[in-house]
Copies of this chain bind each other. A is one copy, B any other.
Amino acid sequence: MSDFIRRIAIVGGTHGNELTGIYLIKKFQQFPHLLHRQSLECITVLANPEAIAVNQRYIDRDLNRCFANEDLANPALTGYEDRRAKEIATQLGPKSQPQADVIIDLHSTTANMGLTVLPSSKHPFNLRLAAYLSALNPLVRVCCGVQCNQDAPMLRSLSPLGCTVEVGAIAQGVLNADYLQQTELLVHAILDYIDALNQGEILSVPSSLNVYQIMSSVDYPRDSSGELQAVIHPHLQFKDYEPLCDGEPMFLKFTGESIPYRGENTVYPIFINEAAYYEKKIAMTLTRKQQLRLETV
């Protein structure tokens, strides 16, 4: 990373039915002056045009799992998303020397995750940016994936700098004006932050940051044929980022019994009841909350 960050890629429509990112990118393409910053060049990418056209998450497989190095290098993977991943990697990558200094990938979720930032790595730049954004807007939460580095198969992993943004709860195929506006403000805050950094401006960044570190995921209770036997318990529905303690209800079986969470440690579930994760066998993702001290620059 040079002292200056010049080229920012803002990506939407990695999933074709997450309209927030798609319509923000369309708006930025229609009104490019919105992205003008003195020290920056911003490029916009609609990542999965065929999925967008049919308003589905993907055509052949989840594009946001196609960016593992070995998959990008594998000519035998010829499905639509695998081809598209290679094109995007050519445009923004390669991972070893990305052409986009920072990648911001805009997503939405049916879980009640408010405004979540998932940094592409724990690079000090990303953590300070995340701390700046959380201080600016207390509704912003910061979550680190299990693979919070460039080994991850997500689009964001093409660069070590940047993040995925998840906003919700929003139904697939729906535009929500509030979240559209909040996501746009977040993008502007990121650009303003980087532009100020480039110009040597002293920005106030907190000295610590609360991070939700993903540990594991939990599937729905299923029978031997894989059929669901329970749903998210009503006490847990829409309670993303709230503490869940041993014995508290997690699922409700169709027969009426509650299934509690069992674990010594309090966890903070997120992606609770994300529509796209039923097929991935994820009912929710468990995180632990931790406070990181930030390096001073």
Contacts and interface: CB of A to CB of B under 8 A. Distances in A.
Contact of A275 (B30, B174, B178, B231): B174
B171 A172 contact: yes
Contacts of A255: 31
A13 B169 CA distance: 23
Given A254-B23, A254-B27, A232 B177 contact: yes
A6 interface: no
Interface in A226-272: 227-228, 231-234, 237, 252, 254-255
> 5 closest A-B pairs (Cβ-Cβ)?
A171-B171, A173-B275, A110-B171, A177-B234, A175-B231
Interface residues of A, number: 35
Contact of A177 (B26, B174, B252): B252
A175 B273 contact: yes
Contact of A228 (B169, B175, B231): B175
A176 interface: yes
Contact of A273 (B174, B181, B227, B232): B174
